[in-house]
Amino acid sequence: MPELPEVESVRRGLEEHLPGARILTIGTLHPRAVSQKSKAPLDLLQGLRCESVKRRGKYLWLTFERDEHALIAHLGMSGQFRVFQGRKAMKEELHPHVRMTALFKDGRKEFRLDFLDQRTFGWMRIDEIDEESSVPKSILHVAPDPFEDHFDPHRVIERLKRSKSEIKRAILDQTILSGVGNIYADEALWRAKIHPERKASTLNDAQLRLLLSSIRAVMKRALDLGGTSFDHLYVNVNGESGYFATRLAVYGREGERCRRCGTAIRRITFTNRSSHLCPRCQRLR
């Protein structure tokens, strides 16, 4: 499932093509492609010129010139944006997983943007931008992610200290900080030597600071390598996989040796999720 580094890789890819380009046509090929919360059908965007491609956590959105609407997209489990340009590529038949397709024109250049989604948990919707925060209104509850200028580690640490839940569940809570999913939560907890089931409120300031810097470091490293294509469901806008999967320390490495101490990595299940950890480096007590 795409997390912050994968979604940011997609955003950067879209940013190379979309700003300045006008939407000529846009249409959907699957009923789940557009969320029921959409303020309008996607063809409201026809004729608009894209201004920018933004992201908060795992949410992407496009803004448009002289228009207050945004097109928000969430990749879900397997959503992919793909850009096709050149007469030959654009004429090829659509992939069976295409849920949305749009034709853009930028000067004399035309290109096609497809949204593919095998598992159909991804979605798009039209929303309005909140003037004060410049964030779409429907995701105002989503907290800033660790890569944002607005990210305030002190505020996050205070929230974590007041949390009644386990630390892993707390860092997956998108109202505390956004962008972290199962893979990077496990990786960051291993780096910070914290057991995922430790109560957040039992950790001291130094441990929480180390955890936040570990989250940022592991996601930055993953972004530098184009993200994690662990389950082959993530690719960038050119259809290329990321390379971080080979660098994972614990996620998906059950039974393999801890890269720090050599102990076998364990997989445990809680709150319907798998957690991967080193039982020696990450003690519960």
Nearest to 140 by CA among 183, 150, 49: 150
Instruction: Round to whole Å and give the CA distance between 148 and 145.
Output: 6
Return the residues of window 237-266 that contact Zn ion according to CB under 5 A: 258, 260-261, 263
Q: What is the CA radius of gyration of the chain?
A: 20
d(CA 224, CA 218): 10
Query: Residue 125 or residue 276: which is nearer to Zn ion going by CB?
Result: 276
Give catalytic status of residue 2 as yes or no: yes
Nearest distance from residue 196's CB to Zn ion, in Å? 14
187 is catalytic: no
Q: Is residue 283 near Zn ion by the rule CB under 5 A? A: no
| The one catalytic residue among 12, 22, 137, 273 | 273
Alpha helices in 85-191 (DSSP H): 87-91, 153-162, 167-171, 182-191
Kindly report the backbone phi and psi dihedral angles of residue 167, in degrees, each rounded to the nearest multiple of 5, phi listed first: -60, -40
DSSP run (H or E) holding 10: helix 4-17
Applying CB under 5 A, does 280 fall inside the site for Zn ion?
yes
CA-based torsion, 191, 192, 195, 199: positive or negative? negative
If you count DSSP H runs as helices and E runs as strands, how many of each does the chain have, helices first? Answer: 6, 10
Of the pair 70, 277, the CB lying nearest Zn ion is at: 277
**Piece of the chain touching Zn ion by CB under 5 A; list 55-63, 93-101, 226-234, 277-285:** 277-285
Size of the site for Zn ion (CB under 5 A): 7
Q: Look up 193 and say whether it is catalytic.
A: no
Where do runs of H (alpha helix) occur along 83-123?
87-91
Catalytic residue check, 198:
no
Q: Considering only 41-49, 79-87, 169-177, 271-279, which stretch makes contact with Zn ion by CB under 5 A?
A: 271-279
Q: Which of 58, 125, 168, 191 is catalytic?
A: 58
189 binds Zn ion (CB under 5 A): no
281 is a contact residue toward Zn ion (CB under 5 A): yes
Cβ-based nearer residue to Zn ion, 119 or 260: 260
Number of CB atoms found within 10 A of residue 17's CB? 19
CB of 273 to Zn ion, least distance (A): 21
Applying CB under 5 A, which residues contact Zn ion?
A: 258, 260-261, 263, 278, 280-281
Residues that are catalytic: 2-3, 58, 273
